[in-house]
Amino acid sequence: MIKFLPQLINLFATLILLLSFAMISQRRIVSLINLFMIQGAALVAASFLLGYVTHQPDLYVSGTLTLVLKVFFIPWMLHRVIRKLNVRWDVETLLNIPTTMLVGIALVIFSFSLALPISRLSDSIAGGSLGIALACVMLSFMMMITRSKAVPQVIGFLSMENGLIFAATTVTNGMPMIVEFGIALDVLVGVLILGVFMFQIREKFDSLDINNLETLKED
């Protein structure tokens, strides 16, 4: 059974990458939040499996933090925000869906090429997943760039943080505990601030399109 665990970790890594592709092509915000929640669950499963294989208890703590924040609390809060703001769709994107997918494929190829020499230096059991983690970061960053609404940009930021955590987990078998707690606190505070920011944008412009911020002028 144990010899199949590395393949199972790679399976969850592939699922995380596929979910990133699904997120960049998704225009329904409710579905986007649900995809982010599933991605968080896959990250939790990968952390728990890697912790079991490597006997690193820190990974269980990291997985538990991700479970509480990324699977339960943040998706619940985002669903509550979009219900209050009455936001369901994000139709205003800089690129259409086919072009977005082509750019995404190019970013994945670039990420694997960039990560290959580094992953060879890692002695982690899942070190080969670094390319997937870097690709998730790239795809999430592209989603932040190509979306004009505030909510998808927030989800892109959170998904990018998922990729960074997955990279640290797979390459180094986990980060120091104080770093994990610091990142979790930063993400929580950041989401709360962004939630207030979205309400302020909606109140000022009656829209969540951040392009409206360009109309602000200094007195």
pLDDT one digit per residue (tens) for the chain, 219 residues: 556 667 787 888 889 889 998 888 888 888 888 999 999 999 888 888 888 877 878 788 888 888 888 889 888 888 887 887 776 665 566 778 888 889 989 999 998 888 877 766 665 555 567 788 888 989 988 888 887 777 787 888 888 888 888 887 777 665 555 455 556 656 666 666 566 555 555 555 555 555 554 554 444
Cα-trace Rg, the chain: 18
Write down the pLDDT at residue 19: 92
- Return d(Cα 84, Cα 87) in angstroms, integer: 8
Residue 24 contacts residue 143 (beta carbons within 8 Å): yes
Range 170-198 burial, b when 16+ CB lie within 10 A, else e: bbebbbeeeebeebbeebbeebeebbeeb
Write down the pLDDT at residue 35: 92
Write down the pLDDT at residue 41: 92
**Which residue matches tokens 């760039």?**
145
**Beta partners for residue 44, in sequence order:** none
Q: 218: helix, coil or strand?
A: coil
Residue 70 contacts residue 37 (beta carbons within 8 Å): yes
Instruction: Say how many CA atoms lie within 13 Å of 156 toward its Cβ.
Output: 21
Write down the pLDDT at residue 74: 84
Write down the pLDDT at residue 112: 86
DSSP assignment letter at 71: I
Write down the pLDDT at residue 219: 43
Q: Where are the domains of the chain?
A: 16-210
**Closest residue by Cα to residue 208 from 196, 199, 219:** 199
**Closest residue by Cα to residue 135 from 17, 40, 11, 38:** 17
pTM over 0.75: yes
Write down the pLDDT at residue 154: 80
**Beta partners for residue 209, in sequence order:** 149
Question: The tokens of 159 are what?
Answer: 């998904």
